[in-house]
Amino acid sequence: MSLSATAGIRPRDRGPKDRRRRAILTPEGVELSVELAGRGERAAAFLLDNLFITGATIAAVLLIVSLVLALRGWGLAIGWAAVFVLRNFYFSFFELHWRGATPAKRILGLRVIDRAGGPLQAEAVVARNLMREIEVTVPLTLLFMPGFGALGHLLLLGWACIFMLMPLFNRDSLRIGDIVGGTLVIGLPRPTLPPDLAAAPGGRGGSANTGCYSFTPAQLDIYGIHELQTLERVLRRGEASASLRPEIAQRIIRKIGWTDSRPGFDADAFLDAFYQAQRARLERKLLFGVRRKDKHDRR
């Protein structure tokens, strides 16, 4: 893991299998490896979300009818206002409250993150979703309206195609909304072991295991990004910090309440295992939008 003063996204393309991998350097200096969401996955999520919107809109229309009958003019105004809010703020609402995921993105394991590695901001979410109106809704709506003529419909079709095909013409599959909002859509990591194997002996019911030392999630959650960076600096110094490592290892052991009766304790191996396990734990939490800055941060 490299430390730098600048945050942002960097390509990590060493072969065909890595074409979708990117390294994002967060403002705290943690390099987070992410996998870009596939274009097909994003399209499927968009279509599924629109199915949800359509179902909710039908329910809203039924509500409109009942309100019109009950409240006459006021019912119509309230009903159409509900449809407008649903249509325009569905994506922004869920991405803000579900850490970058709409219902369809949750189902398909996708998430919106900040492209510079920082926390996802409300203005970025609103901007990327308002751009969808220009990218898709406006041209397609006008396309099916009469009165534009053959040339007008051809221009509208070109408009829609240019914006909708934009993810095909850039390395990170960004649509215009992502470029404006400074966002990126990633795929969340899938577990590599089925639940029964993860809970088997040696897995400790979800513990992070590295080499001969293992740690529970509760133990790894005691420290945050700041402590991880400090430990990394100690490990990077090599022989210069060799005399300090046994003491540091004992401090960590006392802090996290780690116990192990096996003989031949190796402080270097313990620190390396703890570093790798904690880094993996923090990276996974960052992907879900949880940023624990240090041991005093209770997130």
Residue 146 dihedral angles phi and psi, to the nearest 5°:
-75, 165
Residue 111, beta-bridge partner list: 186
For 134-144, what is each residue's pLDDT tens digit? 888 777 777 77
CA–CA separation, 229 and 69 (whole Å): 64
- Residue 95 half-sphere exposure, CB side, CA atoms within 13 Å? 30
DSSP letter, residue 274 = H
CA–CA separation, 121 and 95 (whole Å): 10
For 251-286, what is each residue's pLDDT tens digit? 888 888 887 756 677 888 888 888 888 888 877 776
DSSP letter, residue 188 = P
Contact 63, 212 (CB under 8 A): no
Q: Does residue 203 carry a pLDDT above 50?
A: no
CA–CA separation, 254 and 257 (whole Å): 5
More confident position, 210 or 74: 74
- Residue type for 119, please? P
Coil/strand/helix, residue 297 = coil
The most confident of 95-104, 237-246, 287-296, by mean pLDDT = 95-104
Categorize the per-residue pLDDT at 193 as very low, low, confident or very high, splitting at 50, 70 and 90.
very low
- Residue type for 267, please? A
Contact 28, 20 (CB under 8 A): no
What's the chain's length in residues?
Answer: 299
Mean pLDDT of the chain: 75
- Residue type for 20, please? R
Structure tokens belonging to residue 279: 């880094």
Share of the chain above pLDDT 70, in %: 70
